[in-house]
Amino acid sequence: MGRGQAERLFPMLEGLLKQAGIAWRDLDGIGVGTGPGNFTGVRIAVAAARGLALALEVPAVGVTMFEALAAGAPLPALACLPAPRGQLALQLFGAGGAGSEPFLATPDEVPARLAEAPGGGALTCIGPEAGRIAALLDASVALPVANPAVAIARIAAARLETVRERPRPLYLRPADAAPPKEAPPAILP
Amino acid sequence: MADTLTVLGLESSCDDTAAAVVRQRAGGRPEILSSIVAGQTELHAAFGGVVPEIAARAHVEKLDLCVEAALSEAGLRLSAIDAVAVTAGPGLIGGLLAGVMMAKGIAAGAGLPLVGVNHLAGHALTPRLTDGLAFPYLVLLVSGGHCQFLMARGVEDFTRLGGTIDDAPGEAFDKTARILGLPQPGGPSVEAAARAGDPRRFALPRPLLDRPGCDLSFSGLKTALLRERDRLMEAQGGLTEQDRADLCASFQAAVTEVLAEKSRRALALYMAEAPAEPAFAVAGGVAANATIRAALEAVAAEAGARFLAPPLSLCTDNAAMIAWAGLERFRLGRRDDMTLSARPRWPLDAASPAMLGGGKRGAKA
């Protein structure tokens, strides 16, 4: 779904509740995907989740797409997502499951950026770009255990008691903005 | 419908994140129970203008905090609210989407009706919130993004008498500040500098004054100012404080004269309809400029209309005006459902021919 997410999200959620035979008030928390991904789409979901959480007086829990992909994968795992401008968005989850700092890289930069990661098939790549990255790193590929929305709901449920921060979109780069090129005029004494 | 209505309003169409609660007993005086505005000036300061992506990022993380603050200041829980009103356009799409989705979340979660509000209607209906103006009245909406004369005939019935064919005056103030090395936002800094300046030193153009009608233009004025500045810079290698003050004063005088003369014409059209209680209201951030305000007040007096400028906090972007416009729509039985769209372009007067923009994205004004 590209355009129309803002119009379709709530009718879809209402349909989902109806299918499950429950009402908004029956929810104990709201899980939401925080990306990385399309900025507008992520913001649509995060704003909706924060609004619902406010009204229902339940926690909203942000879950990144990396976490959703890595849930249930053999560890260590590398979550691999496409990013704009020929880049990839990556996050490494160590043997204990803890995630390193997510980062952006072009495919050529990946091996150097992951020099510390285990090789020789000990690493599992997961996600839409997993095949491409596994070939570069001599790693194996696994399919995600659950669809992202289900993984997000499960992870959020596990964090309901401990979550402190409100969900915020995960941006891997700053907003595109440049200060004005022209210098201000010199002010004479 | 309940006699007393209490409406929560959300606003995020540009660079202010805002939430407010407004209450009105049917036929009574509306009360602003709270009005929270979280500005983003410092986030955009380095870029010489509002950066849409920076604004969108900030709105998503500030809106619910503003709503909580507005409810808490009003001393109310959501169960005491009758409807959620939200700016659905026109404005920057990222901010509008954040507001609309937040409002949908609150409305769904609390089981409240949702009312989408046109940001321009929020400004145009503010004189009813502050002073209970009766229709029809004339409004000059003059801000960083808009400039138009509207005949307000009803809550959803506006006729545009004219408007800018290019930039808005607030935008011209910002650009003036930028080319003269004054801080953003330009409105207050140019006005402050102009106080020590000579408004007659530079003969800047009065765009479109030679043409009939109420349309305005400000982009040529900005170019003319830039030319005067460059001429001085070339001759002296910079500007003196006095040069800068004179440039600001001359610029402000040109904007004031154009707005005053076009207001005179709009008032003539309005007065020709013989309104029972003639009133001319100015709304939008530029209404904060004391020189412009004084000139418009004089023009209104000349025409025999009451002049009205809401307090500054209700002239600049705020959510009280959105809660109020939502309350007025709600009283008329208007509701929006969960498919409500954010509309970056949404002319208030859809019947008059488009003045600005077109094509796939539709008319801007």
Residues B280-304: tens digit of each pLDDT: 999 999 999 999 999 999 999 999 9
Nearest-neighbour CA in chain B from A113: distance (Å): 28
Question: Does residue B122 form part of some domain?
Answer: yes
- Which residue from A7, A24, A168 is facing B341, i.e. has the nearest CB? A7
Q: For every residue of chain B, which 3-state class applies, written as one string?
A: CCCEEEEEEEECCCCEEEEEEEEEECCCCCEEEEEEEEECHHHHHHHCCCCHHHHHHHHHHHHHHHHHHHHHHHCCCHHHCCEEEEEEECCCHHHHHHHHHHHHHHHHHHCCCEEEEEHHHHHHHHHHHHHCCCCCEEEEEECCCCEEEEEEEECCEEEEEEEECCCCHHHHHHHHHHHCCCCCCHHHHHHHHHCCCCCCCCCCCCCCCCCCCCCECCHHHHHHHHHHHHHHHHHHCCEEHHHHHHHHHHHHHHHHHHHHHHHHHHHHHHHCCCCCCCEEEEECHHHHCHHHHHHHHHHHHHHCCEEECCCHHHHCCCCHHHHHHHHHHHHCCCCECCCCCCCCCCCCCCCCCCCCCCHHHCCCC
Tell me, yes or no, if A41 comes closer than 8 A to chain B by beta carbon.
no
List binding-site positions of B for substrate: 141-145, 174, 187, 191, 289
The predicted complex's ipTM stands at: 0.95
Domain presence at residue B359: no
- Say if residue B299 is exposed, middle or buried (CB neighbours under 10 Å; 0-12, 13-18, 19+): buried
Q: Please check whether residues B305 and B318 belong to one and the same domain.
A: no
Backbone angles phi, psi at B272, to 5 degrees: -65, -20
Do B171 and B305 belong together in one domain?
yes
* DSSP conformation class of A167: P
Same domain, B221 and B257: yes
* CB pair distance less than 8 Å for A11 and B57: no
Residue B145 lies in a domain: yes
Confidence label for A145 from pLDDT (cuts 50, 70 and 90): confident
pLDDT in tens, B70-120: 999 999 999 999 999 999 999 999 999 999 999 999 999 999 999 999 999
pLDDT of A181 over the 90 cut: no
The answer to whether residue B362 sits within a structural domain is no
In a domain, B235, yes or no: yes
Is residue B141 located within the same domain as residue B285? Answer: yes
Backbone angles phi, psi at A150, to 5 degrees: -65, -45
Look up the CATH number of domain A72-142: 3.30.420.40
d(CA B157, CA B118) in angstroms, rounded, equals 12
pLDDT for B189 equals 96
Question: What CATH number is attached to the domain comprising B11?
Answer: 3.30.420.40
Tens of pLDDT, residues B133-157:
999 999 999 998 899 999 999 999 9
B103 with B149, same domain: the answer is no
Which pLDDT score, from 0 to 100, does residue A26 have? 98
Q: What does the pLDDT read at residue B48?
A: 77
Q: Does 3.90.870.20 match the CATH number of domain A10-64+147-159?
A: no
Tell me the CA end-to-end span of chain A in Å, nearest whole number.
Answer: 60
- Does some domain include residue B218? yes
Are B186 and B265 in a shared domain?
yes
* Count of domains forming chain B: 2
In a domain, B365, yes or no: no
Q: For B67, left (φ over 0), alpha (ψ -120 to 50), or beta?
A: alpha
Domain boundary among B311, B335, B358: B311
**pTM exceeds 0.90 for this model:** yes
| Shared domain check, B269 and B141 | yes
Q: Which residue of B has its CA nearest to A178?
A: B47
| Contact status of A48 with chain B (Cβ, < 8 Å) | yes
Facing residue for A10 by CB, picked from B98, B108, B236: B108
Instruction: Give the nearest chain A residue to B77 (CA atoms).
Output: A55
- Residues from chain B that touch A31, judged by Cβ atoms under 8 A, are none
User: What is d(CA B353, CA B365) in angstroms, rounded to the nearest whole number?
Assistant: 9
Residues B221 and B105 in one domain: no
- CA of A85, closest CA in chain B: separation in Å? 18
- What is the number of other CB atoms lying within 10 angstroms of the CB of residue A86? 8
CA–CA distance, B278 with B304 (Å, rounded to integer): 7
Tokens of B317: 């972007």
Give the domain extent around B16: 5-133+313-347
pLDDT in tens, A68-126: 999 999 999 999 999 999 999 999 999 888 899 999 999 999 989 888 776 666 899 99
Closest chain A residue by Cα to residue B60 = A47
Statement to judge: residues B124 and B22 lie in one domain: yes
Q: What is the mean pLDDT of residues B33-40?
A: 96
* Structure-block tokens of residue A141: 């590929």
Whether residues B201 and B254 share a domain: the answer is yes
- Same domain for B166 and B196, yes or no, is yes
Last residue of a domain, one of B294, B311, B328: B311
Give the domain ranges of chain A. Answer: 10-64+147-159, 72-142
Residue B327 covered by a domain: yes
Per CATH, A10-64+147-159 and A72-142 having the same topology is answered yes
User: Over the range B354-363, which residues count as b (16 or more CB within 10 Å of their CB) and which as e?
Assistant: ebeeeeeeeb
Share of chain B above pLDDT 70, in %: 98
> Do B156 and B128 sit in the same domain of this protein?
no
Annotated binding site of B for Fe cation: 119, 123, 317
